[in-house]
């Protein structure tokens, strides 16, 4: 029955509070091992890379960091000279809006580039926060620039990654702007289910994703209270079931129909032609 499950969480950090815990633990400099495999796996999902490209990716220098739930992978306004890749765990990208509000603009899963946007900008104008225990690889930007310049296929793979990100952003905009609360929640649950299934099928069981109803609200442009009510509604309709802080999709086809969910925007299928 169950298509997907995640723990709704108990240790999530409020948007407005400081949440200073979860400071990264200093890792060691590594060169050339299998640690970056999630990145390669993700890039290969959509792009053709030959063995030289693969080797170049796997031998990128990086520094491993570990963060606890609620820790910051990226802080708004801070300058860095590296870019991060999420290797393990889940995170969300968020923008602060006035009055202690925030909008979550993306969910990130293993293999995702955390802050590719800072590639060419001086400062991030968003934060990225861990929604589980998280491992990231911080790759010096100079090394990334060097590799992408030498290996055009890698450049294109990152570009494609950015385009998929943009496609998801557009769908989220449509979701937030033009669907009602019930459909919004159902739609996001469908997206999470599909994306998680992909991750779990490739990298084995991943940790629980501590996504509170407040997180969901901030992602959907809703109040946590209203998210709760919509959960109950979906449960009454027999589309999902909740017990404790885990939800399970009972009827994926009907949930997708209720959400107007069409997974094409995730661009999971096709390698580019050419």
Partner DNA sequence: CGTAACCTTGAGTAATGTCAAGACTGGTGG
Partner DNA sequence: CCACCAGTCTTGACATTACTCAAGGTTACG
Which residues would be at the binding site for DNA (CB under 7 A)? Answer: 8-14, 180-182, 212-214, 221-226, 228-229, 231-232, 242, 244-245
* Strand 101-108 to 82-88 pairing: unpaired
Task: Provide the 3-class DSSP secondary structure of residue 217.
Answer: helix
Angle at 124 between CA 11 and CA 93, to 5 degrees: 35
181 binds its own copies, rule: CB under 8 A: no
Closer CB to its own copies, residue 238 or residue 272? 272
Task: Provide the 3-class DSSP secondary structure of residue 23.
Answer: coil
Among the candidate windows 30-38, 96-104, 202-210, 245-253, which touches its own copies by CB under 8 A?
96-104
> How many chain residues interact with its own copies (CB under 8 A)?
47
Query: Going residue by residue from 118 to 157, which x/- string records binding to its own copies, judged by CB under 8 A?
Result: -xxxx--xx----------------------x--x--xx-
Measured between alpha carbons, how far is 73 from 22 in angstroms, rounded to an integer?
A: 9
At 171, give phi and psi (nearest 5°).
-65, -40
The listed partner (DNA, its own copies, none) that binds 14, CB under 5 to 8 Å by sort, is DNA
Render the burial of 221-255: b for 16+ CB within 10 Å, e for the rest: ebeeebbbebbeebeeeebbeeeeeebebbebeeb
In sequence order, what E strands does the chain have?
5-7, 29-31, 61-67, 72-74, 82-88, 91-97, 101-108, 127-130, 134-140, 240-243, 246-249
Q: Contact with its own copies (CB under 8 A): which of 165, 185, 189, 240?
A: 165
177 binds its own copies, rule: CB under 8 A: yes
Q: What's the closest the beta carbon of residue 200 comes to its own copies, in angstroms?
A: 26
The listed partner (its own copies, DNA, none) that binds 180, CB under 5 to 8 Å by sort, is DNA
254 binds its own copies, rule: CB under 8 A: no
Interface residue list for its own copies (CB under 8 A): 93, 95, 97-98, 101-103, 105, 116-117, 119-122, 125-126, 149, 152, 155-156, 159-160, 162-163, 165-167, 169-174, 176-179, 218, 220-221, 260, 264-265, 267, 270, 272-273
């Amino acid at each position: 029955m169950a298509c997907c499950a995640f723990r709704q969480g108990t240790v999530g950090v409020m948007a407005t509070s400081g949440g200073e815990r979860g400071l990264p633990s200093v890792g060691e400099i590594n060169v050339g091992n299998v640690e970056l495999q999630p990145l390669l796996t993700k890039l290969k999902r959509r792009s053709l890379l030959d063995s030289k490209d693969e080797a170049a990716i796997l031998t990128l220098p990086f520094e491993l960091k570990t963060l606890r739930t609620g820790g910051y992978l990226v802080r708004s306004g801070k300058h860095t000279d590296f870019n991060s890749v999420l290797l393990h765990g889940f995170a969300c990208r968020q923008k602060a809006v006035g009055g202690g509000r925030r909008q979550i603009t993306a969910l990130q899963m293993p293999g995702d580039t955390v802050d590719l946007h800072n590639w060419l900008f001086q400062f991030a104008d968003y934060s990225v926060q861990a929604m589980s225990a998280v491992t990231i690889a911080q790759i010096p930007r100079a090394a990334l620039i060097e590799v992408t310049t030498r290996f055009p296929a890698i450049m294109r793979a990152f570009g494609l990654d950015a385009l998929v990100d943009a496609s998801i952003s557009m769908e989220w905009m449509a979701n937030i702007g033009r669907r009602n609360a019930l459909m919004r929640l159902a739609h996001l649950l469908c997206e999470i289910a599909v994306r998680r299934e992909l991750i779990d099928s490739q990298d084995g069981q991943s940790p629980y994703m501590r996504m509170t109803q407040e997180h969901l609200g901030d992602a959907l442009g809703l109040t946590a209270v209203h998210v709760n009510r919509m959960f109950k509604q979906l449960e009454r309709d027999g589309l999902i079931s909740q017990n404790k802080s885990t939800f399970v999709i009972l009827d994926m086809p009907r949930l997708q129909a209720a959400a107007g969910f069409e997974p094409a925007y995730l661009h999971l299928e096709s390698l580019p032609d050419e």
